[in-house]
Amino acid sequence: MEEPFEAVITGLDEAGRGIGRMPSGKTFFAEGVFPGEKCLVRETSSSSRFSVCETLSVTEISPSRTEPFEPGRLLCGGLPLASLAYPAQLEFKASRVRECLERIGRFDKDLLDRVMQPIAACEPPLRYRNHMQYAISGGRVGLLASGSHELADYEGEKIEYEIFSLLREALEKCFERAPTNLFEGLVLRASRRTNELLAEFVSGSTAPHEIVIRDCASFIKDAGISGSFEEVCGKAGYKLNGILLRISPDKASRRTRGGTRVTLSGTDSYDEIFCGRKMRVKAGSFFQVNTEQAEKLAELASEGCLDAKVIYDLYCGCGTLGIGIKKPGQKIFGIETVPEAVESAKINRSLAFPEGGADECSYICKDVLKADIKSLIRSGKLEEPDVIIVDPPRKGMDPGVINRIMEIAPKAVVYVSCDPATLARDLKLFAQKYSIGKVTPVDLFPYTPHVETVVLLSKGIDISAGKLRVEMSVENMDLSAAHGKTSYGEIKKHVKDKTGLNVTSLNIAQVKRKYGMIERVNHNLPRTENQRRTNCTPQKEKAILDAFGKYGINPQV
């Protein structure tokens, strides 16, 4: 066994573990300790780059620690910051977003000083989760300890809805009267706005499904679980919408929370109110676990969509974000790869807009990478987007998707991220054509190391590799503020589509100058184009004038 040594914790890693240095200078990670603390640790595993240590004691305590360190205590794996004061949690999360943008994205510090916004805190940071996934072991219901199959010393009361605490206690009493090994877990989901609740038991049995369903259904009824749940919900003012069973017999289905899901009683969904609109949440579907903070995400995202007429919502899930921010007259087009989520999105648009507007939200089930959006636009099946919202999973976006977005070239992109590292990586690619306008971290998950971030991007400035360079291309230059913001590219496309002629930026500039629409020389034309000033042919001139007429640009004749 390795000898213990004393060290000072200098920071936290992305998992919320303390970071320190061994006497050799090698980096180590240890759980349960915070920056500024001096602790006694022992190495438990090692690689060429770092070591993992067990914390034996804390000899100098951080003023941000809210609970004493207890040696040997089984810490909850999902809540590594449970003993850290909330302001310190916020500081850690905001700093992590910025550090990733600097280190991975290579963005300039002066730029980040301008665009970084204060983190949006969760107030109060207690009992915020509308969705809890418990483990069941030895008649107890709780959360697993870090790196273990044992239940941790329970700290869920900091994060779970109060109704979940009551149901968990009621279930443990049922197990005291009727012990069983039928279940491995319990999933509870609810809305504090509609007071509706779903309960889903999880079985890992490999027996034939019909036997598992029969045995579990009988036990839930005979052990008084269903009656107890109904009673607890009724006293607390909740409606128990349904009790379900999920059979997840292998590691893959347990990890993805998949498998076979059956409804034992009631329904498989509950309703939520999000951004003032009704949504339906089905068992197994994704919905942000912190409803109030998710609304802050939507509010921030909507800032990038105020003037948009057409919004694409990529990775749209059940459609909640797009539906939540939609203003009257705006069109939402969502793309999602999960068929059940797409069906839920279609239900949600009808629930959210019962008096009209549902027909302005459309959804397709496709992999975002494989969806040929440009072809759909060319064929007229889709309108060109003003804004594209992306809300990818933790792994971030495929470079191919980013390239396709830049080819479509909307005026703005709103990136909603759940991982600062992949966000920084993706923004580095977007920076080829887009500038960062605002970066706002949002804390949806107090006591965990996770942080969401909303980034508003606009077209026109290249900030890659930490450099600020303005690129004024005639290709995207406005012809005139008074002419509806028509670009040279739109004129070229109209001429090509209607006549088959290829006109250049120089041709358009020559026609503008001829008819008194340019009062100064355009210095943005390429040098070679300035040197060969071939006059625009009458045929092209006529086609360009026709395009001017389409876009309401009147020559001074």
> What is the tens place of the pLDDT at every residue in 52-102?
999 999 999 999 999 999 887 877 878 999 999 999 999 999 999 999 999
Q: Is the dihedral of CA 233, 238, 239, 243 positive or negative?
A: negative
d(CA 78, CA 68): 19
Return the domain boundaries, the chain.
5-73, 131-273, 289-470, 481-550
- pLDDT single digits (tens) 161-219: 999 999 999 999 999 999 999 999 999 999 999 999 999 999 999 999 999 999 999 99
48's CB contacts (< 8 A; 6+ apart) are none
Report how far apart, in Å, the C-alpha atoms of 302 and of each of 238, 290, 500 are. 32, 18, 39
Instruction: Find the largest Cα–Cα distance for the chain.
Output: 94
Nearest-5° Cα angle at 76, 70 to 81: 80
CATH architecture of 289-470: 3-Layer(aba) Sandwich (3.40)
DSSP 390-448: E---TT---HHHHHHHHHH--SEEEEEES-HHHHHHHHHHHTTTEEEEEEEEE--STTS
Which residues have a Cβ under 8 Å from the Cβ of 448 and sit 6 or more positions away? 16, 78, 79, 80, 81
Strands (E), 185-229: 185-191, 196-203
pLDDT at 554: 60
In this chain, the answer to whether the domains covering 5-73 and 131-273 adopt an identical fold is: yes
Residue in the block written with tokens 């770092």? 50
**Of residues 280, 255, 259, 284, the one with CA closest to residue 270:** 280
4 prior amide bond cis, ω within 30? no
By residue count, the chain amounts to 557
Q: Quick check: pTM over 0.85?
A: no
Question: What stretches of 92-151 adopt beta strand conformation (E)?
Answer: 131-137, 140-142
DSSP secondary structure letters along 348-364: HHHHH-TTTTGGGEEEE
In angstroms, what is the C-alpha Rg of the chain? Answer: 29
pLDDT at residue number 527: 42
Tens-level pLDDT at each residue, the chain (557 residues): 689 999 999 999 999 999 999 999 999 999 999 999 999 999 999 999 999 999 999 999 999 999 999 887 877 878 999 999 999 999 999 999 999 999 999 999 999 999 999 999 999 999 999 999 999 999 999 998 887 888 988 777 899 999 999 999 999 999 999 999 999 999 999 999 999 999 999 999 999 999 999 999 999 999 999 999 999 999 999 999 999 999 998 877 777 777 899 999 999 999 999 999 999 999 988 899 999 999 999 999 999 999 999 999 999 989 999 999 999 999 999 999 888 889 999 999 999 999 899 999 999 898 888 888 888 888 888 899 999 999 999 999 999 999 999 999 999 999 999 999 999 999 999 999 999 999 999 999 999 999 999 999 999 754 343 444 444 444 444 444 434 457 788 888 888 888 888 888 888 888 887 776 653 444 444 444 444 456 788 888 888 888 887 776 765 44
Q: What share of the chain is helix, strand, coil (3-state, %, to 5)?
A: 35, 25, 40
Fold that domain 5-73 belongs to in CATH:
OB fold (Dihydrolipoamide Acetyltransferase, E2P) (2.40.50)
Is residue 452 within 8 Å of residue 133, measured between CB atoms?
A: no
The CATH fold of domain 131-273? OB fold (Dihydrolipoamide Acetyltransferase, E2P) (2.40.50)
